[in-house]
Structure 1
């Protein structure tokens, strides 16, 4: 194994002050619980191993140069972090991925550098990549290429967790549970200290989900307080306490979420009913006549993604987001408020090529099929936030591209922030007041000039205005 990994590859092992993006993603996705064993295969200097140890993970690291004496044992989760891209021999690359898959009993997390990072890599063409001046190699992957490559070698259905990070699951049920977690996040149960608060927690679940929970869906702290009820007794208590309107709304939302999940699942490979997470099985039983009917309705929803007219109408009817001549822009906080077919649109792109770890606004094109995630780090504090980066996935080609504005001296910025949110968002009144003040001051009279920092600042000067937080005031030293 030492010979298979070229000696110069050790130079690609960087020191990290924090967890790598793949390890952080797996942790955020709850794929590294304390009971699982973790192997960092090709761990380099071992920074992820040390950081995960501090988080009480049962982790070991192996590396052909830095930790060649560490034992290689089958583990629940194997991290193959930025290893494949530094191997210049395609046969060795394949063998390394196969070996990592053999060592993973539950999940293999694979990450690699992507083609949009080419500007950061200086070198000359060598094989299917670049040879740098330090005699290191880099094969940069397309987002879709990495997922397809891991699927080809492992034979597993692979899910893109983030740009350049994919998950290959051993167990189909685990893959479906992960998809369900992304599409229908687990609801937070109310805390329970006694029987009364446990019943209140069940009532809250019924109002949000539109149906009663099964015992195995309940947290132990709730289940322990309600198991003594006779059959039908808890049902009557909950029925009398629940708000019928909230239950109806919860049922509607659960129906739509189930369709969304089944449509996303088909995009990535649908399994039998018994493989679904327990909560989704119960949703199907409650809100549909059969699993077949639910799947048929989900298939029709997926087909509607191809209908330009239907997508445009859905965008026009959306209760959240800003509609432009080419796309719908929606803030992260409002994403669940857009029509289900548009949520499916965004989810398909995220499953195919990965959703960035950080983003603020998603852009859904209605001319063509492409999704962009735009990051405005200061959206909440800056009245006209500047963009940091955009990550775009073309759903027709599954090609992804990344544009960074970190070093730009004249970045694009946002106006009319309230339009990106849902109407009942608590920040909307404040943002709308600012927009109205800017309109009265004449700042939007030349819309072609205000889309960038320099143009916006020039218009503020022309109109004799300046911003103090989310307030527009007269510029010091100017008079009307």
Structure 2
């Protein structure tokens, strides 16, 4: 059993779903699936994603060699290939199947696969380069860098990891760059108005949020049509007199840093000519830099700083957000934009290389070397001392990843001093700080080596005669049981 060339019961791996699969949901969130695009679900299984996306008004068809063998495999703007490669026993056939799907993708091929950290969920015997289960199904579990390398080799494109085990291969650079730009600086939402006063208000809000006036082609059509009828000099005067200058200046600084971050990230992947950039990025460069060359030179210097351990440690020490330890900086996702730009670049490079997990709470950036981890604490805001659920790490030198789940663990690590992971002006920081101050006064942090896990923390609370009621520390009554 297990010789290459045999065929397993592939169709038996197709599970029934009541909602979108994780890869389809990620693609929808990322704006890759929408009504104007034609979508092909290549290897659609029982067709649950096809039905769910049709309910979202997507133009989607599905093909599957077992469940939909007579459906047409027509070229489409987007081709979904969801957990198909895992079930193919022969590596050569995997590549050929991937090549077939790529030939059908006009804009983007979205490839997803199960990863090596799911090995404990796959029961069976080793066979070829995977596992043959007792049900006669086969699973080759991919390392994250292995999956990305395979897709890049077959498609010849520079790929982006949207999430762990989800790879986007874009047919042209414009689509890839547009996706990256939205990840760094999400597009502003316009308040659409068909009246002149509403259009001017929306225009002012855009200037205050972006730091510059928009071009007509950036605005929704109803607003663009109204703006086009206004005198340009009168419009500029109106914006100068109406827009709050302190907001415009702050947004201009933020847009400048976002542009540098985008260009530095592009050099990490290979930078193209000015005309290949998304329109919004081109306009930001014209507004905030003297030239494309100047912007690129500054971005190049930023990327070089990312390779300098002493500079990175200095940036971590100066960060307005995050908890600095002897080995790493930990920052809550709400406060990422408060980090120095070089640290934002650090996190983005890791995310593009290996994908951010769908659920995470804190990012951990190591001082030395380059490794980023995304830690998930699902009850961070409701639990005064949240317990960890999972940890996903990528080493930027090797691009190798690791994943650890704490589900089912009986003595999980937990957090203290929650306010330190946030920016000082976070709306919850003051409440968390008050709890920390109370715990320090109560002597609960006197033995820090004891309180890092659930059992140790509960034991120390009981020993000192306290318990927690929400984010308040309450003295334990004599009649209350300890532990």
Contact 1:9 1:137 in 2 (8 A): yes
1:276-300, CA deviations, whole angstroms, 9 ceiling, x for partnerless residues? 1111000111111211221121111
Give, in whole Å, the separation in 2 of the partners of 1:455 and 1:191. 55
Shift of 1:7: 5.4
In the superposition, the TM-score normalised over structure 1's length comes to: 0.96
1:1-31, CA deviations, whole angstroms, 9 ceiling, x for partnerless residues? xxx9935111111122221111000000010
Aligned-pair RMSD on alpha carbons? 1.5
Gaps of 5+ in 1: none
SS of the residue corresponding to residue 232 of structure 1 reads: helix
Give, in whole Å, the separation in 2 of the partners of 1:148 and 1:407. 33
Aligned to 1:14: 15
Within-5 A mapping of 1:219-234 = 219-234=220-235
Shift of 1:195: 1.9
Aligned to 1:240: 241
Say if 1:87 and 1:111 are closer, same or farther in 2 by CA, change over 3 A: same
After superposing the two structures, state which structure 1 stretch, 454-463 or 7-16, moved more. Answer: 7-16
Aligned to 1:283: 284
Contact 1:42 1:64 in 2 (8 A): yes
Contact 1:259 1:294 in 2 (8 A): yes
Contact 1:159 1:268 in 2 (8 A): no
Contact 1:464 1:478 in 2 (8 A): no
1:97-135, CA deviations, whole angstroms, 9 ceiling, x for partnerless residues? 011011111110000111222222233332222222323
Aligned to 2:471: 470
SS of the residue corresponding to residue 161 of structure 1 reads: strand
Give, in whole Å, the separation in 2 of the partners of 1:401 and 1:213. 43
Give, in whole Å, the separation in 1 of the partners of 2:430 and 2:226. 43
Give, in whole Å, the separation in 1 of the partners of 2:191 and 2:315. 34
Say whether residues 1:96 and 2:97 are aligned partners: yes
Report the count of equivalent residues: 476
Give, in whole Å, the separation in 2 of the partners of 1:5 and 1:370. 40
Contact 2:322 2:423 in 1 (8 A): yes
Aligned to 1:133: 134
Contact 2:256 2:284 in 1 (8 A): yes
Say if 1:114 and 1:229 are closer, same or farther in 2 by CA, change over 3 A: same
Aligned to 2:386: 385
Give, in whole Å, the separation in 2 of the partners of 1:8 and 1:377. 37
Aligned to 2:165: 164
Aligned to 1:427: 428
Give, in whole Å, the separation in 1 of the partners of 2:234 and 2:6. 65
1:67-92, CA deviations, whole angstroms, 9 ceiling, x for partnerless residues? 11211111111110001111111111
Aligned to 1:457: 458
Shift of 1:193: 5.2
In the superposition, the TM-score normalised over structure 2's length comes to: 0.96
1:416-460, CA deviations, whole angstroms, 9 ceiling, x for partnerless residues? 111111111111111111111111111111111111111111111
Aligned to 1:354: 355
SS of the residue corresponding to residue 330 of structure 1 reads: strand
Within-5 A mapping of 1:49-448 = 49-192=50-193, 194-448=195-449
SS of the residue corresponding to residue 151 of structure 2 reads: helix
Contact 2:210 2:251 in 1 (8 A): yes
Aligned to 2:29: 28
SS of the residue corresponding to residue 197 of structure 1 reads: helix
Say if 1:478 and 1:269 are closer, same or farther in 2 by CA, change over 3 A: farther
Give, in whole Å, the separation in 2 of the partners of 1:437 and 1:228. 61
1:367-424, CA deviations, whole angstroms, 9 ceiling, x for partnerless residues? 2211000111111111111111011011011001110001101111111111111111
